[in-house]
Amino acid sequence: MKLENLTFKGGVNVPHHKDLTESLPIEKAKEPDVVYIPLHQHVGAPCDSLVKMGDNVKVGQKIGQSDAFVSAPVHSSVSGTVKSITSMSTPTGQTVKCVVIESDGRNELDESIKPKGSLNELSPKEIIGIIKEAGITGMGGAGFPTHVKLSPPPDKKIDAVLINGAECEPYLTADHRLMVEHPEKIIFGLKAIMKAVEVNKGVIGIEKNKPDAIMALRDASKGEENIEVVSLKAKYPQGDEKRLINAVLGRVVPSGGLPMDVGAIVCNVASTRAIAEAILEGKPLYERVTTVTGHGIKEPKNLVTKVGTPFKDLIEQCGGFAEGSPGKIISGGPMMGIVQYSIDVPIIKGSGGILILTEEEARPEPMQPCIKCGKCIDVCSVNLQPLYLSSYALKKDFDKAEDLNALDCVECGSCSYICPAKRPLVESIRFAKREIIAKKKSKK
Please indicate, yes or no, whether residues 67 and 37 belong to a single structural domain of this protein. yes
Q: What's residue 221's pLDDT?
A: 98
Q: What's residue 142's pLDDT?
A: 81
Whether residue 4 is contained in a domain is answered as: no
Whether residue 3 is contained in a domain is answered as: no
Whether residue 9 is contained in a domain is answered as: no
Whether residue 425 is contained in a domain is answered as: yes
pLDDT digit string (tens) for 49-104? 999 999 999 999 999 999 999 999 999 999 999 999 999 999 999 999 999 999 99
Q: Considering the chain, what is the average pLDDT of its residues?
A: 96
Q: Are strands 301-306 and 27-28 parallel, antiparallel or unpaired?
A: parallel
Q: What's residue 280's pLDDT?
A: 98
Please indicate, yes or no, whether residues 307 and 389 belong to a single structural domain of this protein. no
Q: What's residue 109's pLDDT?
A: 98
Q: Of 252, 280, 308, which residue sits at a domain end?
A: 280
Can you tell me whether residue 97 is helix, strand or coil? strand
Please indicate, yes or no, whether residues 271 and 125 belong to a single structural domain of this protein. yes
Please indicate, yes or no, whether residues 387 and 328 belong to a single structural domain of this protein. no
Please indicate, yes or no, whether residues 36 and 84 belong to a single structural domain of this protein. yes
Cβ–Cβ under 8 Å, residues 77 and 287: yes
For 408, the domain range is: 375-443
Q: Of 361, 394, 425, which residue sits at a domain end?
A: 361
Please indicate, yes or no, whether residues 209 and 271 belong to a single structural domain of this protein. yes
Mean pLDDT computed over 102-108: 98
pLDDT digit string (tens) for 65-75? 999 999 999 99
Name the band, by pLDDT with cuts 50, 70 and 90, for residue 1: low
Cβ–Cβ under 8 Å, residues 429 and 406: yes
Whether residue 14 is contained in a domain is answered as: no
Please indicate, yes or no, whether residues 167 and 220 belong to a single structural domain of this protein. yes
Judge whether residue 442 has pLDDT over 90: no
Peptide bond into 211 cis (omega under 30): no
Whether residue 7 is contained in a domain is answered as: no
pLDDT digit string (tens) for 353-393? 999 999 999 998 999 999 999 999 999 999 999 999 999 99
CATH of the domain at 220: 3.40.50.11540
How many whole angstroms separate alpha carbon 231 and alpha carbon 217?
11
Strand boundaries in 11-53, DSSP class E: 27-28, 34-38, 48-49
Please indicate, yes or no, whether residues 202 and 241 belong to a single structural domain of this protein. yes
Q: What's residue 150's pLDDT?
A: 97
How many whole angstroms separate alpha carbon 285 and alpha carbon 73?
9
- In the chain, the number of structural domains is 3
Whether residue 368 is contained in a domain is answered as: no
Alpha helices in 200-268 (DSSP H): 211-220, 241-249
Name the band, by pLDDT with cuts 50, 70 and 90, for residue 441: confident
Closest to 285 measured CA to CA, from 293, 294, 297, 277: 277
Strand boundaries in 286-407, DSSP class E: 287-293, 301-306, 328-331, 338-339, 353-357
Judge whether residue 34 has pLDDT over 80: yes
Please indicate, yes or no, whether residues 100 and 139 belong to a single structural domain of this protein. no
Q: Of 328, 361, 394, which residue sits at a domain end?
A: 361
Residue 117, phi then psi, degrees to nearest 5: 115, 170
How many whole angstroms separate alpha carbon 275 and alpha carbon 74?
15
Whether residue 100 is contained in a domain is answered as: yes
110 versus 142: the higher-pLDDT residue is 110
CATH of the domain at 85: 3.10.20.600
How many whole angstroms separate alpha carbon 262 and alpha carbon 282?
32
Judge whether residue 295 has pLDDT over 80: yes
